[in-house]
Amino acid sequence: MPSQNEERSDTAARCLTPSADNHSGTGPRNMDWGTLNDQANNLMSNYKQTHRDEDIEEAIRILSAWYSGLPSDSQNHAACANSLAFAFYMRFQHSNSIADLEQAVHYWSIVLESSTPGSPHYVPLVVNLGGMLRRRFECHGKLEDLEQAIVMYSAATSSCPPDSPYRHNLLNNYALAVFSRFEQTGDPQDLDLSIQTHQECLSLRPPGHLSHCSTLSNLAIAICARYRHRGNMDDFTSAMAYHSRALELSSPESPSYPTILMNMGLLLRYSFQCNGDLQNLNTAINLYRVALTACPDNHPIRFSLLANYAGDLNVRFTQNGDINDLEYSIELYTNSLANQSSTHAHRFSSLHGLAIALMSRFKVYGVPEDLDLAITHITSSMALCGPSHPEHMPVLMVWINCLIMRYKTRGDIADLDDAVEHSEAAICVCPRESTDYFLLLTHVNNALSTRFSRRQDVRDLKKIVDYCDLALRDVPDRHISNQVLAMDRADALLQQYFHEGGTDTLEHVISFYQDMMQDLSRGHQAFPRVLIQLASALKARFEQGGNADDLNCAVNHYRTACEVCPPGQDDHYAASSGLGNTLLLRYQIFGPLDDLDECLVHLAHIVEIHALATYHPDYPKGLANFAYAIFARFQNQHDITDLDIAVNYLQAARDHPNQSEGRHILTHLATVLSARYNEREDINDLQESIKAFETALPMFASNHPQALHLHRNLARSLQKMYVKRQTIEDLNAAIAHFEACLTISPEGHPDLPLALISLAWCRHKRAKVGKDDDGFQDALSLLSKASEKLPEAHPWFFLVYQHYTIIFEDYYSLTKDASFLEKAFQYHQLASSAPGIHTWDQLTAALRWRTDANEFHHTSALEAYKTSIKLLDRHIMATPTVSGRYKALLGGILRDTPSLAADATACAISAGDLELAVELSEQGRGLLWSQMSRFRATINDLRVVDDEGRRLADEFVLLSAELGKRQSDSSAVTSGPVTETLIRTQQEEEARQYRQISSQWEAVVSKIRQKEGFTYFLTPMPFKELRAAAVAGPIVIINASIKRCDAIIITKDGPPRLIPLPDASLGGITTLSGDFRNVLRNTSGVGEEKTREKQLIPVFRRLWDAVLAPVVEALLTIMPKGSRVWWCPTSKLTSLPIHAAGPYRKGASNMPNIYISSYTPTLSALIRSRRQNVSKVASNTPSFVSIGQSKPNSGSGEKELKAVGAELELVKSLVPASMTCSEVSGDEGTVSGAIQALKTNSWVHLACHGKQDFLQPFDSSFALRDKPLRLSDIIQAEPENPEFAFLSACHTAVGDKNAPDEVIHLAAGMQFSGFRGVIGTMWAVDDNTARHMVKEFYDAMFSGKIDCTNAARALNKASKAVDKDKVPMDQRVVFIHIGA
């Protein structure tokens, strides 16, 4: 809906002035009429300036009183009516009151009736009245108003002299009225006349004319319409040129500014519709966004702007699937309708657009209200544009689509019959030459095809074939409509084959689609549809003839269709469903496991398709099958979300009125509920599980194979109920069902050992309650029988070992026989290494071993810790993505054992093995970084061994790079509507591929370890290698465990040295960390610097007294003051500024004056920092780049950083001439620009906003111009020659409070990416003071030889040299050094 600028003429108001009539009497008649008129005009002039309602109301009152007192034959009658019309018009401009509009029309009509074409006031009156009639048409939609205005304009134009001062206004409004009629009727002659009239008007309004700008815009809009309808690029160029000239003449405050921007956006939209260039659409949307900010609520084009903005957002949603575009589109359409009257001429268009958007959202979420509302709106739109309206057919087609969708959702055949009836009726009256004809015919075909799928009446298919045959006679072979209709015809024939058979029909369809494939490019819009139908036909031929080539081709075609068709489109779901079913068929016939894996990926799509048609008889079956697959995934990955999804789907399947497999659904529901109880211990789940098992059991014959499983699983649920309620009746019932399993199980049944194991547990529990020695012996005997029946290395040995540990521990508690306790811990060890089970089960067994060893003070505790840490590493490694590993680590392990590494280290310290303590501390912390580093291992030594070594090195690098990409979460759904199910299906596919590549990687690593000298390749470093980290100075590991707190000093020579910390405790350190954060949070305001310093000093002093004082005392015996020291803190100590601690007492030295502090997450991280790029550093000239962004993307929510520019200039001035220096900032300060700079420069200074994401730490980021530069992006960057990075941003060295030992922050990511040294920040940086620290740092850094390893010393100097009055204490110690 373009908006044009209408002109009025106030000439009539000025020239039709009253004369003084002489009247007798009192009141207004005795007044000076000239004075009265002047008074009214003054009030209107004031209103024009101030918009005070009192002024215009007083003017109208005066004029109305005057007018009512005039005789009809008074010579002042017309003048007074004109003034009244003008007053009502002025008020209408601000009130939008229909009553004011009607009054203006009424009074100007009276004036015009008394005027003649020869009158000097005739043309201005026509201009004004015609404009008001056009406005009334826009409000009420009555075409007669528009026709009356055009007749008046045409007559006036003919009689108006070329040199008339009013002609330009007349031409302008004439052109607008004709254009409005074109929009209603579609008559191309009106469009040409409008353009011609606008061009004449423009010639009368040269540059400098007050209305030159508006005329440019009006002409551009008319030419734009012609471009839209005829596609001539010259019209596009011309229209854009006129719009651009108009925009140059308008200020952002001008009322015309948003109008011009909107109309430029429309032109770009039409261009997108012609050539498909998405950039044009994006530019149009940006123009609407800017226009909306400049468009007040009462602006006359606001509703049009909202509607156009909304329409283009919806179009973009269909292109890229961004749900935010769709949601905002609906919001804007809704606002647009709220600003329109119910009879507005363009209201149908807003209703039409909103209906389409709501349909799109319904397809994404399936919310019934969206579909109902869409139908309501499209029905209202049809009522506003009847069969004679030029936009009737497009609106009708949307209505047909809505009816079909409602049928598919609710199954009411009446909707489908209505769609068929109205579409067939429309195609009968639609002219063949109409541009809507062929599109309407596809809607007819869709309605008939859908009805056939319900009623199986082959006459509907034959109608499609007949319609297509008739239409194809007149369509050229290469015309796009020819392809679409030919495909409709072939689809109907394929459905006819499925219904009636006929080899000839099938062969004809296959031949047709194969021929079509020859003519279609991969990017053609019909390409996926043809692939899907060809695949379906080939699958049908395989089922008929059994040729495996047909089946394999069908799989390949479906897979390609999935690749080229974006998620969210109907074709994508059809392709995914077809692929899943075909893969399942191939698995059933030929048995490849990969087909089954991939089939599971696509089952979610099948569920989504059926979810939009819940009446479908396959819906409950689809839900149940998908739930089984989800449950299987839970058993492998232990993600409790899978259990919730499976339970929800199975409950929906159970409750569905059309379900026909109730007993199987109940059995699986009971099993999944029992598993969920294991995770959450919600007794409601367990009760429902038992009820479902008991309901399903009688549905099977006693000799049915499923009855055995039901007895066993019901008994296991009763087992759990006994554990929960400790009711002997539950235990006896469980024993009865397990005994039933043994009774009905034939000898040699594979499930018999499991029944024996479970029965042993129950007998043991009953014996424990009754202190029955015979019961204990009976339980042990059952476990022995189960072991005898199990083949070697069977996974159920894990259960045997677990039960042995429990029974022997309880037997020990009863008898105090130490031999039973020793046997229990032997089985603990066996359970944690049991073959054939998931590492998760091994890990939970090892952690249970650790817990029991601590409880019983058993000597195997240290071995339990070593095993737990090794299995933790293996379990986390099995998860494909970094975020998945973090989730597994935090949710599954650290939730229950947050201090595993620290406790293991403390255990080793208590055992007197300090070297092992260091090794366990290293292995149990920084797991995510160390695992990722394995894929970037340096294997240059392997390359020079021999040809095989070179080949293995190449394979390792290739596979490591592939795994590195997959584990970094780089892939994501980027187009189409993103749903939870869709994301999970993609994750399943990625996990399958990850497992394949991981298996290949492990095979290569195994071969590398067979090479001489590479036995320990990629295994955890022993202490003798870890101590290499201390080559440049001592490293202090500070271990904080609930057991004890200690520091371990590591030097390059000699054994590790233990420093007990008797005054420190884990609870005290946790409290200290919280106090420190509270001080920073509560004193962050401007002017609170002194208060902050005063409150920080006691925190630093407590840290010193409890932790650092004993360590520094020991260090001073081996290292002089001023030496470098590396701190490796654990637990909550990672959040405390060790480098700033001190006694802060008179005469005493604080840490900055004692040692040069650096930090390292782990020893191996420091070793990597020392080793990497040494040869490159020596040979290459260092290059320095400053990356800055003061104005991040609007979505970041960050304020502008005023001092970034000055900081970048400062840094540039300090970089020595021996280094190349460049800058990336402003509009170039984007993610791509920053990553390229990181890759190609060895020294980096980064100044911008930093953000630590506490929910997803790998999404922590720097705020850049276009979007955030995430930690995961930095991990992937792989710089060519990194040396040093200075991160002048907030929170770049703040770890994850939930997993502090993982040290997940931006500075650590830079170090992992290869930077040998990194300066980061532990809390917020003051933008105004940072530059002072930066100056002093680089002054010190570049005062001598350029060496990145001098950074810690330079930072220490800077903190002392900076002006204390300008930089408060917290900002002097906020920066820390990490690395070499």
What is the rounded distance in angstroms from the CA atom of residue 669 to the CA atom of residue 654? 8
Structure confidence by residue, pLDDT tens digits, 1311-1354: 877 889 999 988 888 878 888 999 999 999 998 888 899 999 99
- What's residue 1112's pLDDT? 96
Mind giving me the DSSP string for 874-924? HHHHTSSSHHHHHHIIIIIIITT-TTHHHHHHHHHHHTT-HHHHHHHHHHH
3-state secondary structure at position 221? helix
Residue 164: Cβ within 10 Å count:
16
Averaged pLDDT of the chain: 82
- What's residue 1224's pLDDT? 92
The pLDDT of residue 983 is above 50: no
Task: Decide: pTM greater than 0.85.
Answer: no
pLDDT grade for 1144, boundaries at 50, 70 and 90: very high
pLDDT grade for 4, boundaries at 50, 70 and 90: low
Mind giving me the DSSP string for 306-349? HHHHHHHHHHHHHHH--HHHHHHHHHHHHHHHHTS-TT-TTHHH
What is the rounded distance in angstroms from the CA atom of residue 750 to the CA atom of residue 743? 14
CB 465 within 8 A of CB 452: no
What is the mean predicted confidence (pLDDT) over 407-425?
A: 84
To the nearest 10°, report the CA torsion of 73, 74, 79, 82: -40
What is the rounded distance in angstroms from the CA atom of residue 1088 to the CA atom of residue 1082? 9
What is the rounded distance in angstroms from the CA atom of residue 605 to the CA atom of residue 588? 20
- What's residue 860's pLDDT? 94
The pLDDT of residue 1000 is above 90: no
In 30-72, alpha helices (H):
33-50, 53-69
Residue type at position 190: D
- What's residue 37's pLDDT? 76
Structure confidence by residue, pLDDT tens digits, 826-855: 999 999 988 766 777 888 899 999 999 999
Give the pair of three-digit tokens for residue 1320. Answer: 């980061």
- What's residue 945's pLDDT? 79
Least confident of 189-198, 647-656, 878-887, 1059-1068: 878-887
Check residues 148 and 1292 and name the one with the higher pLDDT.
148
What is the mean predicted confidence (pLDDT) over 931-944?
A: 59
The pLDDT of residue 73 is above 90: no
What is the rounded distance in angstroms from the CA atom of residue 1169 to the CA atom of residue 645? 45
For residue 1053, the 8-state DSSP code is S
Check residues 377 and 599 and name the one with the higher pLDDT.
377
The pLDDT of residue 20 is above 50: no
- What's residue 1100's pLDDT? 95
Nearest one of 1138, 1135, 1161, 1158 to 924, comparing CA atoms: 1161
- Specify which of 212-216, 581-585, 1165-1169 reaches the highest per-range mean pLDDT: 212-216
Contacts 24+ apart (CB under 8 A), 111-118: 111/12, 111/16, 111/78, 111/81, 111/82, 111/85, 112/152, 114/77, 114/78, 115/78, 117/155, 117/156, 117/159, 118/159
- What's residue 576's pLDDT? 78
3-state secondary structure at position 284? helix
854, exposed or middle or buried, with CB in 10 Å at 0-12, 13-18, 19+?
middle
What is the mean predicted confidence (pLDDT) over 124-153?
A: 87
pLDDT grade for 442, boundaries at 50, 70 and 90: confident
What is the rounded distance in angstroms from the CA atom of residue 1266 to the CA atom of residue 1191? 10
Check residues 1117 and 336 and name the one with the higher pLDDT.
1117
- What's residue 980's pLDDT? 35
- Specify which of 565-574, 775-784, 1265-1274, 1352-1361 reaches the highest per-range mean pLDDT: 1352-1361
Residues 6+ apart with CB under 8 A from 530: 487, 513, 516, 517, 520
How far is Cα of residue 952 from the mean position of the Cα atoms in its chain? Answer: 39
Least confident of 228-237, 985-994, 1277-1286: 985-994
CB 104 within 8 A of CB 132: yes
The pLDDT of residue 173 is above 50: yes
pLDDT grade for 27, boundaries at 50, 70 and 90: very low
Give the pair of three-digit tokens for residue 232. Answer: 């001539």
The pLDDT of residue 968 is above 50: no
Percent over 70 (pLDDT), the chain? 85
Structure confidence by residue, pLDDT tens digits, 343-397: 776 788 889 999 999 988 887 776 888 989 999 999 999 888 888 777 888 899 9
The pLDDT of residue 1156 is above 80: yes
How far is Cα of residue 635 from the mean position of the Cα atoms in its chain? Answer: 28
What is the rounded distance in angstroms from the CA atom of residue 1100 to the CA atom of residue 1109? 11
Residues 6+ apart with CB under 8 A from 80: 18, 63, 66, 67, 70
- What's residue 1069's pLDDT? 92
For residue 1104, the 8-state DSSP code is I
pLDDT grade for 28, boundaries at 50, 70 and 90: very low
pLDDT grade for 135, boundaries at 50, 70 and 90: confident
Give the pair of three-digit tokens for residue 1335. Answer: 């100056």
CB 1072 within 8 A of CB 1100: no
pLDDT grade for 1124, boundaries at 50, 70 and 90: very high
What is the mean predicted confidence (pLDDT) over 940-966?
A: 73
Helix 256-275 vs helix 212-230: angle between axes, to the nearest 10 degrees? 20
For the CA atoms of the chain, what is the radius of gyration?
Answer: 40
What is the mean predicted confidence (pLDDT) over 481-494?
A: 86
- What's residue 610's pLDDT? 64
For residue 837, the 8-state DSSP code is S
- What's residue 878's pLDDT? 53
163, exposed or middle or buried, with CB in 10 Å at 0-12, 13-18, 19+?
exposed
What is the rounded distance in angstroms from the CA atom of residue 361 to the CA atom of residue 357? 6
Give the pair of three-digit tokens for residue 210. Answer: 């007050």
